[in-house]
Amino acid sequence: MNSCQSLGVGLAGFGTVGAGVWSALRTHAPLVAERSGGRIELTVTRILVRDPAKPRNLPSPPSAELLTTDWRELVDDPSVDIVVELIGGTTTAFDIVAAALKARKPVVTGNKALLAERGAELFDLSRRHETPIHFEAAVAGGIPIIRALQESFIGNRILSITGIINGTSNYILDRMTDAGITFEAALAEAQALGYAEADPSLDVDGRDAAHKALLLATLAYGFPIDPSQIDVNGIQQVKPSDIRFAKSLGYVVKLLAVIREHPDGAVEVRVQPSFIARSNILASVHGVFNAVAVVGDGVGESVFYGHGAGAHPTASSVVADLAEAARALRCPSGHRGFLPYRSNGRVLPAGDTSTASYVRFDVTDRPGVMAEVAQVLARHGIGISGTHSPVNPQNPDADFVDMIFLLHTCPLGVLRKALEEIEALDCINSTPVVFRIESLG
């Protein structure tokens, strides 16, 4: 570490967020120094880029001397005290973070995929080299949910975490709700506005939210979680008719991450489109905003709301982590990042999780179809609270229709077995679509 008052920052990645961090440090460096008692001055001393000749549309772009295309040069640079990884992915990003930890240089990252898929290896390196990883920016952009779970709730047993943590999916569902348009039309809008990537699969199939849910669950319960243990479903199959029907019952449809500890200590972690009551605070989260509701046994429910992505909100979280890393370097007091604090724990299998459900069947319209489906459900002990078969006003005489069943609470595994049997009926034309109906506190 440099002995002067200035600490050097190596930015690995200079895309939207990297440029936001550069601008934030240039704008707010004096403020950060003042708020830390004048002891911390953060200066970017090296930047990893793909193309040094690329024009940088910034009021004060970095000089050519700061740029490098070799990540090893950045990590090894003696002027770099803290490494910020913002390139994304899980290969080169892993190499950068691992090398920085081995060099005992604290790491700040917003890479939720890296931590979700290879976090166990990196946290082990962090422990062995007594060098922290900070990752506030990896979940919910500018919302300080990571720090809250690590510090503010340290005296609470976390009972549950429920969140809308993917802004792209939330925007799409919002537009489908407000404008009555299809998933495809809402997705095209999101792409035109820059809210969705050209390949939106990571967002709309639920994987991005699952990565974030894994990190939140690891923070709350302290043990590493394999991504394959998380039940994940996306929003591609949501239809305007689903949203209309939800609205008629007093619900809205949201892509929800649910994390919950059960009395036996098992932890439920899942992501799926869900019906939530219109009166619930999460139902009022619109557009690309995120929200996370945390329930602790002491504090009760706390809700965190704000921008879940974007250059400035995410850069704000990165700068906060940089300040924390700098404080630890200036005043060493042991490992200040996150480390899993339990060697093992149990994730509740998806089949053992229970909620009420909304199920949509694509059926051949003929007498007796509803009775056939109901008989299978009854054999599996699944109660029916309501049925509906809406008529398509554009084609009221269609031979194929959607049939909706509202089902009482039952284990998902039981429901899936019943649906496998139902799907084999000759009146069923495609795989049934299931939405959870959540009972949120």
Catalytic residue annotation: 212
Q: Distance (Å, rounded) from C-alpha 163 to C-alpha 140?
A: 9
Cβ contact 320:147 at 8 Å: yes
Residue given tokens 């500018």 in the structure block: 142
Cβ contact 250:130 at 8 Å: no
Write the single-letter amino acid at 154: I
- H or E segment to which residue 292 belongs: strand 289-296
Q: Distance (Å, rounded) from C-alpha 159 to C-alpha 190?
A: 34
Which of 211, 205, 160, 163 minimizes the C-alpha distance to 183? 205
SS3 at position 203: helix
DSSP 341: -
Task: Give the list of residues 6+ apart from residue 52 with CB closer than 8 angstroms, or none.
Answer: 64, 67, 68, 69
SS3 at position 184: helix
Q: What is the largest CA-CA distance in the chain?
A: 83
* Strand 41-48 relative to strand 6-12, pairing: parallel
Q: Distance (Å, rounded) from C-alpha 221 to C-alpha 403?
A: 40
Cα 53–chain centre separation: 34
Q: Distance (Å, rounded) from C-alpha 335 to C-alpha 124?
A: 13
SS3 at position 229: helix
Which of 223, 441, 232 minimizes the C-alpha distance to 347? 223
Write the single-letter amino acid at 218: T
Q: How far is CA 290 from CA 72, 135, 221, in A?
A: 35, 17, 22
Burial class (CB in 10 A: 0-12, 13-18, 19+), 256: buried
Q: How far is CA 264 from CA 109, 260, 323, 345, 347, in A?
A: 34, 12, 39, 11, 11
392 CB neighbour count, 10 Å cutoff: 12
Residue 119 structure tokens: 């976090």
